[in-house]
Structure 1
Amino acid sequence: QKSNVLDPSLGQNECGVCGVTESLWICLICGNIGCGRYQEAHAYCHYKETSHLYALELETQRVWDYAELPSPDGPPQMQQARAEVDQDKLDAIGIEYSYLLSTQLSSQRVYYEEKLESVTLQLSKLTSQVQKLEDEISTLNQDKDKYKKENYLLEKEKIPSLIKEKKVIEKKMEKFTEKSNKLEKELNGERELENKDVKIKDLEEQVRDLMFFFSSQEKLKDNPELAGGNIVVSENSGNSGGNARKKKGKR
């Protein structure tokens, strides 16, 4: 069941029983809201249940005293006495209640305005945080796309290019290695030739010395006068050791 008490926070009041928003009456005793007799007469039902005599029509601010209603059980004199209730007093009560109601509404308005300002501030902060998070997400997505593109370029272009360049370098290294080995062989061959040339030169000098020796012996045989002389062989240059060979003879 709906609450029958006036709620200032609502934009529009309604009957607490049937929910209509027209021809509403509020009980000046407890604040219950009910519809009038042109609707479902729930305001009068409230009076019957509680015996609260005074009600205020919200639209016209008119005060109603249920004591003025004729009772079929009472005598005419009692009905006349109830009809003589001081209307000025009722109007004063209505004015006072209207003032209290207006004050309460103003207080409620200030309260809800402060609440609304607080909620608006919190909403603004949350909106800023959401915007910041969205910016961070956008930046991360951009970085992700950038890295994805770079990775794609690495896989599709740079890595194959590096592999190809590596193969070219490896082929060049193979050629340089072959050439180096060949040059090393040639150098070794030249060194061997140099050693052979040195040996040949040494042998040639030895042969020359022997030929000179044999030639000298032949001359001695042919010329006996030289038999008592000395034959000196000059020192040989080269790697033959430079030993002087001397032959002596006596007459």
Structure 2
Amino acid sequence: MREEGICHVTFIRSITIETPSEPKASSSKGSTVGHLSSLKPFPPPTPDLVELPTCTVCLERMDDTSGLITIPCQHVFHCTCLQSWTGSGCPVCRATNPAPQSVDPSDPYSHPFGHGISNICVTCDTTDDLWICLICGNVGCGRYKGGHAKEHWKETAHCFSLELETQHVWDYAGDMWVHRLIREKGEGKVVEFPSTDMAARDGGGQVGPDMDVVPRAKLDNIGMEYTNLLSSQLESQRVYFEEIISKAVDKAAKASAAAEVASSQAAEALSRLQLVEEEHNALKSEVIPKLERDLERERKRGDRSTEVARKLGQSLQEEKKINEGLLAKVQHVNKEMEAYKAQNEELSREVAEQKDMNHDLTLFISGQEKLREMEHEGKVTQEELEEGEASVPEKKGRDKGRSRGKGKGKQ
């Protein structure tokens, strides 16, 4: 097939429609009118004309004279464009259109891969757009259904999946088709392998003598390549799952240890709880009633003490009043005693003076009598009596001494 006859489908991210920009609000009215008048008028509408649809493959208009074909999903294409489209899927919706194939019961290689698998998705039970994993044989639906085949790749990293309807292999890791890639025996380069339907379209379903026939050695190399690929994938999956299993074992061991620790802690907490419950029951049945009785007794005792304190307070007030009266009386008595004491001292002083005077008089009288006796006896003359002096000695402890004048005796 010619290179220019192969069509490629591209995805459109966005469509931008450019329209004449509106004038700014700050511009004047005259400039706005001039700007609008400079634009070309829009063409008149054509209500009687119908726009022809375009082909999804070549993007050209489709009419009845160009040869159209409608597939079971009700999408219309040019016949030549659909023949150039590789695979049996619809270019628009990717719906699969299985082509009838002649199967030889005696030839096991004539059966497509995965024909013995139940044609339902293991997740959503759909029967359309099914893919089978080349590593573990899991069957899932395509991305345009439930996308469970891709979810299986994300979970297990099995990157090769085969479409059951078209027998095409998709590489999720490389995001490309790999069913038509083989390696050259000499250089080892990856080349595209021509499909049987493309060869049938080019040669009318028959292989001519001038066409290239794939040798048996190349097919063996392809089989060996797939075998090595599957072996490497299985080895990577073994390492992956062994790592998961080891992590799971470590996690289970840690969980078991944590469970044992939690069990021991729970048993210890349960024993502590039982002790606390026993103490609580003991407090509730014995200690608390006793404390309540003691509290009631202390409350009554406190009431009595309060009453006694109130009475003592009243007695204290009365005693204070009595003490104040007694204190006033004592002060009055003390004042009287001071007065009596001063009076007594005055009287004592007067008595002492009287005693002194009495003593002096007694001495004077006794001296006079003694002198008279001596004069009668002739012991003393009249001249001696006239020349003599009479004196009275002072007493010790007297406040002031008293002196007597000189006296002369008379016959």
TM-score surpassing 0.5? no
TM-score by length of 1: 0.41
Larger C-alpha radius of gyration, 1 or 2?
A: 2
Q: Give the structure with the larger helix fraction.
A: 1
Q: Which has the higher contact order (CA 8 A, sep 6+)?
A: 1
Q: TM-score normalized by structure 2?
A: 0.27
